[in-house]
Amino acid sequence: EVQLVESGGGMVQPGGSLRLSCAASGFTFSSYDMSWVRQVPGKGPEWVSTINSSGTKTYYADSVKGRFTISRDNAKITLYLQMNTLKPEDTALYYCARGPRFIATIPQFAYWGQGTQVTVSS
């Protein structure tokens, strides 16, 4: 079955950096776009970033553009999110997700990981 396992979360001070990893299995990783989505309690999921299957195209939410970098290593079957200049508002549970697949212009994610917590606080 499809499995996505995030790691690398933790607590960091504002301005700090963190690198998240997502180990994938159960599907042909190199054939799929991959994304990071985050969520805070009481709010809906917020899309963060997407990378295409080959790793040649990336997309970012305005809130993280210029600070976060999504990447992937298809040989290692792993997705990454390098987060720099972290802000308190980046605090959230970060999920690795396969996709998106657009249905009627709406991005949808078929599979999600368990999430890894990122807390940015002084």
Task: Give me the pLDDT at residue 50, please.
Answer: 98
User: Could you tell me the two tokens for 60?
Assistant: 């970012």
User: Could you tell me the two tokens for 57?
Assistant: 């195209």
Coil vs helix vs strand at 21: strand
Contact by Cβ (8 Å): 77, 23: yes
Contact by Cβ (8 Å): 93, 113: no
Q: Is the dihedral of CA 87, 71, 117, 41 positive or negative?
A: positive
Task: Give me the pLDDT at residue 65, please.
Answer: 98
* List of the chain residues with pLDDT < 70: none
Q: Is the dihedral of CA 46, 113, 91, 55 positive or negative?
A: negative
User: Could you tell me the two tokens for 28?
Assistant: 């042909």
Q: Which residues, listed in sequence order, are joined to residue 103 by a DSSP beta bridge?
A: 106
